[in-house]
């Protein structure tokens, strides 16, 4: 009988990441920060180096820039998908790929996703958000059950899109759910409107920040109908969700 999720990884085995970026400063920053976060990290400055490393030592996830000196990141992912040793199941049918690039047009995002990218993050980026996205992609591509999120008496279960507060079900639209999930996944941290737009409306929205205010007001009417209030405005910065202070 098939198990619902893949078997656990060997104890003590770190996830191996492959960073592909032609800027030495960015490459070294990512290598250092990701090793500190507990990953094994290889790095490549060109598309050819990346493909050779992926063939010799298959990574669990690739962080891929688009602008490379010998071939662009879109060509790298095409060739990566053709490598028989990159057959780890992922969104695109192979090794998971997270684009990390300064290319921020809607067309670039769509190209990256259509070619099998699992996520897309634009520079400059927040390292904590990058690590959170890496872990989310790894969980998702392995079929691991998503984590339950709790802030105060508010609970969100990604599987089944269930939200409740003080035991009472809260019904949200898909966009409201994505917004609440993003805020709860970053509980206690003030998220800017730009960060919210990037994560909640990343691939299908033009970028008018007023939409964030509108959906925050929708959420408050459904989630913050009782005390203590959980969603807070940080004037001039953005929004934060946090539980009641001790």
Domains parsed from the chain with CATH numbers = 16-142 (3.40.50.2300), 149-241 (1.10.10.10)
Quick one: pLDDT at residue 240?
A: 94
DSSP notation for 161-228: TEEEETTEE----HHHHHHHHHHHHTTTS-EEHHHHHHHHSTTT----THHHHHHHHHHHHHH-SSSS
Question: Is the separation of the CB atoms in 115 and 74 below 8 Å?
Answer: yes
Question: Is the separation of the CB atoms in 98 and 119 below 8 Å?
Answer: yes
Quick one: pLDDT at residue 233?
A: 94
Quick one: pLDDT at residue 202?
A: 60
In the numeric block, the tokens 């592909």 are attached to 20
Per-residue pLDDT tens digits of the chain, which is 246 residues long: 222 333 334 445 689 999 999 999 999 999 999 998 899 999 999 999 999 999 999 999 999 999 999 999 999 999 988 876 554 444 444 789 999 999 888 888 888 888 888 888 888 888 888 888 898 888 777 766 667 889 999 999 887 789 999 999 999 988 899 899 999 988 888 888 888 887 787 644 455 778 899 999 999 999 999 999 999 999 988 999 998 875
Residues 6+ apart with CB under 8 A from 21: 27, 30, 43, 45, 63, 65, 100
pTM > 0.85: yes or no:
no
Q: How many CA atoms lie within 13 A of 118 on its CB side?
A: 27
Quick one: pLDDT at residue 42?
A: 96
Question: Is the separation of the CB atoms in 119 and 137 below 8 Å?
Answer: yes
């Amino acid at each position: 009988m098939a198990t619902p999720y893949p078997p656990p990884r060997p104890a003590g085995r770190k996830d191996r990441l492959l960073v592909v970026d032609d800027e030495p400063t960015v490459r070294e920053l990512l290598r250092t920060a990701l090793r500190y976060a507990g990953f094994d990290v290889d790095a490549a400055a060109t598309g050819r180096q990346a493909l050779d490393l992926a063939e010799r030592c298959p990574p669990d996830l690739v962080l891929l820039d688009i602008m490379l000196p010998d071939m662009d990141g879109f060509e790298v992912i095409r060739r990566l998908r053709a490598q028989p040793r990159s057959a780890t199941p992922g969104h695109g049918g192979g090794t998971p790929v997270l684009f990390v690039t300064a290319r921020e047009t809607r067309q670039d995002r769509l190209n990256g996703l259509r070619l099998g990218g699992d996520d897309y993050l634009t520079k400059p980026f927040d390292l904590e958000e990058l690590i959170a996205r890496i872990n989310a992609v790894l969980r998702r591509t392995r079929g691991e059950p998503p984590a339950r999120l709790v802030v105060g008496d508010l609970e969100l279960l990604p599987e089944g899109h269930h939200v409740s507060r003080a035991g009472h079900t809260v019904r949200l639209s898909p966009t409201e759910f994505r917004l609440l999930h993003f805020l709860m996944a970053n509980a206690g941290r003030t998220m800017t409107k730009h960060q919210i737009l990037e994560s909640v409306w990343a691939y299908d929205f033009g970028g008018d920040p007023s939409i964030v205010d509108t959906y925050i007001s929708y959420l408050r009417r459904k989630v913050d109908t009782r005390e203590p209030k959980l969603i807070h405005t940080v004037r001039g910065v953005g929004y934060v969700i946090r539980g009641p202070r001790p």
